[in-house]
Structure 1
C-alpha cells in the first residue's frame, strides 16, 4: 500500500476530498472547487480546480480521467486524457474539461467532475543504440494490420 497525502487548500473546507464511490472502484472521484457555477458552452473548455494538493511516492503517478456518466449523458470529458500528475507536483490538482455535447453544461461547486486513478511507474533507463532487434511487425504503423 502506498501512502498519498492530501492537503485541503484554504477556502475549500466544504469541497469533498477525492473518494472511491464503491468498494472496488479503481478511481477516486474529484469534486469541483469552483467559486461560483461555471457554465461550459458546447465546444468550450475550462481548467476546473479541485481544492486540494497532494504528495505521493515517486513510484506513483495519478491519472485524471473522465467520468463515464458525464461523458455519456452530457458530452463532458477531459482533454489530455488521461492527464498525468507527477509525484513531484505539489500545486492544486485541476481538471481540464471540455463540453463535446450539444447543450451548455453548468458545473456546480462540489459536483463530481472526473476521476483520479493511481498507477505504479517503473523506473526506466534509456539506452541509445545503433540497431534494434527485429520483430514480425517491424516498422508497421497505424492501420498496418487492416481496418
Structure 2
C-alpha cells in the first residue's frame, strides 16, 4: 500500500519519491542540470563543467567538475557511475566506482575519470561524462558480539566456489 503525504507543491509518494535540492554553481549557467535521458532511466546524466577542453591521455585520471551541488535528504545517497557507452567505446570509466555523495556533502559534485583506452580522449564542456543514481540508505546500527552465527559457507571467500 502506498502512503501519500502532503508536501508543499503537491503530493509526494512516501515510499518512492523524494525532493532533492540542486544548485547550479556560478559560471555554469550553460551546463544542463543532471537529467534522465529516457523515461525509465535509473541514472541522471552528468555534464562536464570544464572551462576549456581537456585531453585525458591513456592511463591518466582527472577530477572533472559538473557545475552543481546537491542537498540530499538523510535517507539518500548519490552514486556516481560510468556511462556504458564511454566505457565500451573509449575505455573511459570512473575510479572509486560507484563514488558516493553523502547526504551531508554540500560541495560541487565532481567525477573521478580515468582513461583505460589506448588513445587520448578529449573532454569538451557540456559533454555527458558519467551518471548519478540516487539510492535509499538504511540507517544501520552495528552491534559488537563475541561470536557470529555459523553458516555453510563460513569463512570461504575470493573464489572458494570455483568457476564451473
TM band (smaller chain): over 0.9
* Match in the other structure for 2:135: 119
- Flag as ranges the 4+ runs of structure 1 deviating above 2 A: none
Determine the C-alpha separation between the residues in 2 that align with 1:125 and 1:48.
35
* Match in the other structure for 1:18: 34
What's the CA shift string for 1:20-74, capped at 9, x where partnerless? 0000000000000000001000000000000000001010000000000000010
Larger Rg: 2
* Match in the other structure for 1:97: 113
Number of aligned residue pairs: give it.
Answer: 147
Determine the C-alpha separation between the residues in 1 that align with 2:157 and 2:27.
50
For structure 2, which runs of at least 5 residues remain unmatched after alignment?
1-16
For structure 1, which runs of at least 5 residues remain unmatched after alignment?
none
What RMSD, in angstroms, separates the aligned Cα atoms of the two structures? Answer: 0.4
Q: Which among 53, 58, 78 is matched to residue 69 of structure 2? A: 53
When normalised by structure 2's length, the TM-score is 0.89
Determine the C-alpha separation between the residues in 2 that align with 1:62 and 1:7.
15
Q: Which among 75, 85, 88 is matched to residue 104 of structure 2? A: 88
3-state DSSP class of the match of 1:115?
Answer: strand
Q: Which among 39, 50, 55 is matched to residue 39 of structure 1? A: 55
Determine the C-alpha separation between the residues in 2 that align with 1:125 and 1:56.
21
Q: Identify the structure with bigger relative contact order (alpha carbons < 8 Å, sequence gap 6+).
A: 1
Determine the C-alpha separation between the residues in 2 that align with 1:3 and 1:132.
39
* Match in the other structure for 1:137: 153
Q: How many angstroms does 1:141 deviate by?
A: 1.0
3-state DSSP class of the match of 1:48?
Answer: strand
Q: Which among 58, 62, 79 is matched to residue 78 of structure 2? A: 62
3-state DSSP class of the match of 2:155?
Answer: coil
